[in-house]
Each structure stands twice: as structure tokens, then as C-alpha cells.
Structure 1
Amino acid sequence: MWRIGPLRLLTVVGVGYLTVVLVLAAVELDLDLGQSTAVGRSPATGVVTGVPGSPVTEGQGYDPSSAPVPPRATPVGPAEDVRVGSAKTQPAAPPPPPPAPPVTRRPTAPAAPPVVTSYEAESSANGLANTRIYTCYGCSGDKKVGNIGRDMGTLQFNGVTARTGGLATVTIAYVNGEAPRVGKISVNGEPPITLTFPGTGGWSSVGTMIVTMSLRPGPNTLKMFNPDSAAPDFDKITVSVR
């Protein structure tokens, strides 16, 4: 075995120690170079920036405002299915208009009732030229007027009144105990109308015939006659006029 003297041993130990120191220094220098690369100065603000926790040079503190801000997570709720025209997108319906007030109509004045007047054939107010008044128990007032026609006599009702004029309903009460007889009626001297009166079954049995004729306002005349043949006997006339 080799023998190493004290001086040689001391030299070897010193060289080894120096080598270890140099290696540690190199490692430390390499770490410093890496950190200085991560830490730098902002060209715009002059603030030394870097990763929090790393050493900062030139006596500057760490600026938290320059650190990147991580994005915040926004909670997401359940998705809503909103369709066009749905209740969520449609505007509220306007309130219905108020009901219209009821229409008040003025009551229509009722028409004036017709005036009904009876005129007896045997009345002295009538024209009874060449006629004869007979007793008739079935007639109004138990009397009637005969001998009309064949140029024997003419019966004229006078004073048949209409308030405003116009059409009037005239009911003629007559008696005819034979076959139908013909009578003519002239109103206010106008051309006459011809009527055929059926038999009534006896000379005391009364029948009626209804005729519509035009009357003028005020008093009117109705003449019963027949120049060609005998007319029936007459009881009365009833005039309905407005």
C-alpha cells in the first residue's frame, strides 16, 4: 500500500473541499440565473413582476395587481325553454272595454183607436123620400126602412162623420127574405158601387155586409138606391173610422 504523508493528505483534502465549494457555487449561480429570467421589470410601469414567492431584485416589492386574474366560475342554472309567442314573451292583453250603456228608446205613442158610430136607417136626420118604415123585431130599435128601388124610394144617411178622412169600414145591417137583391151605394154623390145582398131567411132576420169606402173629413152622405130593381130593407149602418 501507498503511504501518504501528512502534507500530501492535507493537500488532497483541501483540493476536495475546494471542488465541493466550486460545485455548490455553480449550482447556486445556475438557480439565480433561472429566477432572474422569471422575474423582470415591466417596460411600461417599471414595476418588477414575477411569480409570487420568487425573489425580487432591486429592492422592489411584489405588485399583486400585475398578476393574472383567474376567471371566475359563473353558476349556470337550468336552461329555460322560451319560445316566441309564449306567455313569457306575449304582452299582457288590454282590459275589455266597459259595456255600452243601454239604449233608451222613447215609447211610441199608440195609434188612436178607431171611432165606431152607428146610424139608424129610420132616423129623422136621414133622407127618407118615398120610403116606408116597417116594424122588425129582429132589427135594432125594432124598425127598418123598405120600399127602396124600382124608382120607389131612396134612403140617404146624412152626417156620417170622419175626423181626419180616409178609409172607413162600413158594416151594413140589412133584411132580405127573398133571393139575393142588388143595391147601389153612392158616397158624397160620387159614382155608386153595386152590391149584391144575399137572402137572410126572413123579413125579420138581419144579415150584415162589410164594405170599405173612402170618406172625407167632416160629415159625409151615403145614399142607398137601385133604379132597376128592388133593393133590400135596411136596419142601420155602423162606421169605424180613425
Structure 2
Amino acid sequence: MSARHGGGRDGIWRIGPVRLLTAVVLGYLSLVLVLTVLKLDLIRPDSVVPNPGTGATGAAPDLPGSPATEDPGFPTPTVPVPAPSPATPSVVPTGTPPPPPPPPRPTAATTPPARSVVTAYEAESAGNGLAGTRTFNCPGCSGRKKVGNIGRDMGALRINGVTARTGGPAVVTLGYVNGEGTRAAQLSVNGGPPLSLSFPGTGGWSTSGALVVTVTLRAGANTLTLFNPSAAAPDFDNITVRVPAR
């Protein structure tokens, strides 16, 4: 037998490098083609294995009288939601209750002030005893007149008709005028022992001042006499007497 192309000296068939490379490439391509075909066959729709009791496509057979239903597929997992616990009423601490208010303190019964009767007597009134005295005009006096020339044995002023409903103390306000320094006079109630009084200056012989004293009157009519046996007394404007109403 004659040696073939590519045969060696020992008669063994030999392949050159180019043919060897070509054979390897063709074999690789063939393998890739086979694998591709197999992959396509695996993913073809008709390659799905039918479920028992179903048709070739795996769909549920239509039964007479029953409507066709869609395959719901895989069920969606349901996550259980815990039921809400009953609301617990909130308790707001109120703390310690305030102590009860203290009982009202008993108030002592107050005695209403005693009613009184106030009577004013003008010094120059004709009903008074004015022996030895003199009446002067006085712009600053209540009746615009005053009685002077009292004392030094010149004269004495006697207020008549001072009335009290009940006997007892009475508040007497002597309205006087003294344009000089302090002068003195004596006050006698119902001819009793005299009470010595001092009358500060009023700043002028037309300016009236007041001196308040307390004397004891009897029920009914009383007399108040102002005099000074040794010195000049002030002039007098009026006399106000406050006595209890009953």
C-alpha cells in the first residue's frame, strides 16, 4: 500500500498543526451548538411535564356545567396581624385632695354705736344770760357774731336750755375767738363747781377755734356758765352739746 498524505515513516496517520487547530475549533463549536439546542428544548412550553389528571398544557380540564376558573397560582402568604389589645383607661393621679376649708370663725356681736343728739347754741342768742357782756360782729363766726367782755368782773355768759333726755356725760364743744395769747375761763354746769379751762390763741379776733370738754348733765334742762373773776376770758361764738339719744 502506498503511503497516504500525512502518513509518517512508520505508517501512522499524522495530522499537521493547521488541521489539528481546525479540528479543535470545529469540535468546540459543535459542542456549543449541542448545548444551545438542549437548553432551548428544556425551556420550550411544550416541554412542561403535565400534572396528573390535567391536559397536555397542565391546565385543569373543563367540566361540564362548571365555569372555567383561572389558576390562582401560588397562594400569597398571609401575615397574621395581632388583634389590638383592649385600651387600658389611663388614670391621672390627682394627688392628695385639698383639706376642707376651716369653719368660719364666730364673730363677736358688735354693739351698734349709741345714737346721740347734737344741739348747737349761738352765744349771742337772746335766750341766754348776757348780763355785763357785749355782742360784736365776727365775719369768721357761725352767726357772724360773737359775745365778748367776759371776765374781769365785766360779765359772764350763761347758756340756757341745754336739754338732755337722760342724765349722764355729755360732750361739749366751745367755739371761741382769741386774737392774743392763751386766755383762761371757767365753766360751771347748773351752778356747780367750776372747771378751769385754757384757750389758746386762734390767730385773730375774727377767727374761730374749738375746745372740747366732757361734762355731766342732768335729765331735762341744764345751764352752762362761762366766766373769769380775775382775768379776761376769750370771746365766744357758739356751744355745741352732744348727748345720748336715750
> What TM-score comes out, normalization by structure 2 length?
0.54
Q: 1:147 corresponds to which residue?
A: 149
Q: 1:180 corresponds to which residue?
A: 182
Which structure shows the higher helix fraction? 1
Choose from 110, 134, 137 the match for 1:135: 137
For 1:222-233, list aligned pairs within 5 A.
222-233=224-235
CA distance in 2, matches of 1:163, 1:187: 16
1:157 paired with 2:150, answer no
Choose from 208, 211, 214 the match for 1:212: 214
CA distance in 1, matches of 2:128, 2:177: 19
CA distance in 1, matches of 2:208, 2:186: 19
For 1:182-201, list aligned pairs within 5 A.
182-201=184-203
Q: Note the residue ranges of structure 2 that are not aligned, 5 or more in a row.
A: 1-108
Distance 1:156 1:109, change over 3 A: same
SS of equivalent residue, structure 1 residue 201: coil
Choose from 105, 114, 117 the match for 1:115: 117
For 1:13-162, list aligned pairs within 5 A.
110=112, 112-162=114-164
AA paired with 1:163? Answer: R
Report how far residue 109 of structure 1 moved: 8.0
Choose from 171, 174, 180 the match for 2:173: 171
CA distance in 2, matches of 1:179, 1:196: 10
SS of equivalent residue, structure 1 residue 140: coil
AA paired with 1:194? Answer: S
CA deviation string 1:94-127 (max 9, x = no partner): xxxxxxxxxxxxx988454110000000001100
CA distance in 2, matches of 1:236, 1:204: 13
SS of equivalent residue, structure 2 residue 191: coil
Distance 1:136 1:112, change over 3 A: same
CA distance in 1, matches of 2:145, 2:179: 15
CA deviation string 1:146-181 (max 9, x = no partner): 000000001000000111110000000000000100
Distance 1:108 1:207, change over 3 A: closer
Q: 1:34 corresponds to which residue?
A: none
Q: 1:236 corresponds to which residue?
A: 238
Report how far residue 186 of structure 1 moved: 0.3
Distance 1:152 1:109, change over 3 A: same
Report how far residue 145 of structure 1 moved: 0.2
AA paired with 1:136? Answer: C
Q: 1:23 corresponds to which residue?
A: none
SS of equivalent residue, structure 2 residue 143: helix
RMSD (Å), alpha carbons: 1.9
> What TM-score comes out, normalization by structure 1 length?
0.55
CA distance in 2, matches of 1:183, 1:108: 40
